[in-house]
Structure formats: structure tokens, C-alpha cells
Amino acid sequence: MSTLSPKTSYNIRALATQLLGQILSDGRSLSVALPHFRNQCQTPQDAAFLQALIYGVLRFYPRLCFVCDKLLQKPIKTKEIDIYYLAVIGLYQLMFMSVAPHAIISETVEAARVLNKPWATGLINAILRNFQRQSKTLLPTIDSNEIAHFAHPRWLLDEIKSAWPTEWQTILTANNEAPPLSLRVNQQKITRDDYLKTLQTEEFPADKILGIPAGITLKTAVDITKLPGFNDGLFSVQDGAAQFAAELLALKPNLRVLDACAAPGGKTTHILEKEPNLQALVAIDIAPTRTALIQENLSRLHLSATVITADANKPHTWWDHQLFDRILLDAPCSATGVIRRHPDIKYLRQPNDIVKLALQQKQLLQTLWPLLAPNGLLLYATCSLLPAENSDIIEAFLTQEPSAKIVPISLPVGFARAIGHQILPGQGNLDGFYYALLTKA
């Protein structure tokens, strides 16, 4: 990848090209890579534009590639992949953004210079101007190509189609939509109705999430630090589907609760808000950077828990041999249910990841089950859409563990499966989530 030229001016499209390269070529996640590039922006407006640009390109990258390849007379060399990324960024602006075309072309061509690739200015100019001339005949051809139309890699498209033969098109369409900003009101400090009135007074219109006691969705996305009560811990950012976890645990005073794989701590804090009189809440995650996020969320909300940096698969390194009445296993997964929030998942995940993740999920379930007290509840949760990570895992576990019994789940949104409950992306305007509730006989 190229570096920015010290002799040329600051250019948002050049920054976006480098950011796209870090994700698609280097395999960095968007959430890790984006902050560094936002910090290089000269104004908040530029940072917002950069973010909108990169999210949009990632949502529709296969479609943009289809169009770009039609416009190229010969493929761009692999060593010049940044110029291909820049061309795709230019096409996204012309196809999806309400920016004047002449400004798009001018700034995108200039970005090639800023990237130390002056030879590519003519190529970028030609691609974008050819698109303008050919768009009326070119755009209809997108619908004839399944990968371009649905903007998902072939393997993932086929996995979702196989898992959801009647819903797959709806799922893929939902994956490409911008998600809402959803909050969880801290009902230990304020009622949802009172917080909604506060938002209305300060001109932040929002609605209740139906069927979720603490959930609200803002009608337009905003900087959450500007919302009333941010520093006072009146709310947390959390999708409504994730808020079902604390509800399903049937919490009561004096219980011992384990939140395994707990980072960043959204469900940990919700458990404490839901039931402040627990005997203990142990939140565990494998890396110091991840447990730091849990501590950060606990601190902002003025809550406390026992936070441990350790491998949940190795209880001998952290467990005190006191059984837990409730275990939340928010298992590491493919995150195929939250692609609309993390569009880079489409390209960072690979088919063999599903097999590896399923092995990890099975191991965690087998390891944590002995830590559950008799008549206790274990809630298995993923943000995956794939049966290999969801019902297949639970079905196999029930077969081999005679003390495990499934507890029926009734939720106001999603599908009751033969085993567990699945929410698909966009249902009730929620993220995709799977839940299965087990009790120890």
C-alpha cells in the first residue's frame, strides 16, 4: 500500500483508500482501524464523511467491484491494489452519495496524487467518467449477477441461503442497511418513559423497542456523548436483540452469576441493572484490552463486578469452586447476525472460520457446564445466523450431556426453532441473535 505524499494536500478519499487497504488487504477490523483515520481528519464533518464513505463501500464492495471490472480495459496489477480501492471509492460516491459529480471526480483523481500515484490520475478519471456515460446501461446488469446484487461473497451468500431457504434474500438485504442507534435505559436510575420524555425535551426523538423493557431506538443517529445523562450512566448503547440476554436469565437476589466471554460488558452491566442484589457476578474475558472495556463500562455506570482476565476454557486458572446459579455463555462466533453494524465481517470471515468457531463453542459449553449448580440456568447466545454455530451445537450437547435439558423460550420477535430461538437481522429492527436456554436437571 502507498503512503501519503508529504508534498500534497490533505484528502479524505486518500485516507479512505488507506483505511480500506488495512481492512481488505491487511485483515484489520473496521472498529480497530477506523479511529486512527478519524483522528487524522481536520474537522468533525470530515470524520463523519470518512466514516460514511468506508461503511458504504464495505456494504456494497462486491457490487462496486462488479461495476469497476466492467469499466476496466485490463485488470489493475495486484501491487497497485490501492488504485483499485480508490476507483471503487469513487464509484461508491457516484452511485450512492449526494455529492456533486464534478467534486467527486476532482477529489478522487486528486487522491491518486496524494497517494504518490500520479500516473493513476488519468485511469481514475477515465473510470469515473466512463461510469457517468455508461451508467444507464451498466447498472441494470447488476441484477443479473447474484453476488453483485446482494453484495455478499459467494461462500457467505450460499451459507445463508442454505440455512434460511425462504428468508435469505430478506437477510442479505437487511445486512446492507444502516442499523439504528439503540439504547438500553438504566432503570436503576430512571424509567424508560421518563428518559424518553427527557430526550423529547432536548429534541432527540426516539421510540420504545417493543417487547424489551429498557430498549429505545433513536430516530436519527447522534453522538452519544451529547445525549442527556451519558456521564451519569442513564443509558448504554446496546441493540435490542442483545438486551434479551438479561431478561432470559430469570435473575433473582442472592444468585451467583458468571458472564463468560463478557467483553465489552454490555450484558454484564445489564445483568447488574436488572438485579442489583446478586451475591456475585463474575465477568471473564481472555485479553487485558477486553477486560479493560468491561471495567470502563462498569465505571461509567457506577456498577461493580469481579472482572477476571483469563481463558474461560481453563477454569482451574480462575474458578473458586463455588457453583454458579446462572451462566451466560456469549460464545465467540462468526457475527453473521451483525453484518449491518460491522460490514467488514463479510470479508474478514472465511469458510473455515465456521468450523474453528464451532469447535471453540462446543469446548466452552462442555467446560462451563460443570460450573453450573443443579437447577441452574445456562444461556447460550451468539450473534450468528448459522445453525453450525447455534442449534447444531446445542443439539449435540444435549445428546452427550444427560443432565442438560432445554428450556422453551418465548420472545416477541424472531423464530422459535426446534432448539432455541433465532432473531434475523432487521426483524423488529433488531440485530441477528440466537439464544438457547438450558437447565441442569
Is 157 strand, coil or helix?
Answer: helix
Q: Residue 109 carries which side chain, given as an amino acid letter?
A: V
β pairing state of 324-330 and 256-260: parallel
Is 436 strand, coil or helix?
Answer: strand
Strand segments, DSSP code E, in 294-363 are: 306-309, 324-330
Among 261, 247, 293, 257, residue whose Cα is nearest residue 278: 257
CA angle 149, 151, 152 (to 5 degrees): 125
19-22: long-range pairs with CB below 8 Å, 24+: 19/50, 19/54, 20/54, 20/57, 20/58, 20/85, 20/88, 20/89, 21/81, 21/82, 21/85
Give me Rg for the CA atoms of the chain: 24
Among 219, 329, 339, 351, residue whose Cα is nearest residue 284: 329
Contact present, 12 and 46 (Cβ < 8 Å)? yes
Q: Which residues of 287-299 are buried (b: 16+ CB within 10 A; e: fewer)?
A: eeebbbbbeebbe
Among 420, 273, 438, residue whose Cα is nearest residue 372: 438
| Contact residues for 246 (Cβ-Cβ < 8 A; gap 6+) | 267, 270, 271, 273, 274
How far apart are the C-alpha atoms of 221 and 402, rounded to whole Å?
47
Residues forming the active site: 383
CA distances (Å), 257 to each of 212, 268, 368, 372, in order? Answer: 22, 10, 12, 9
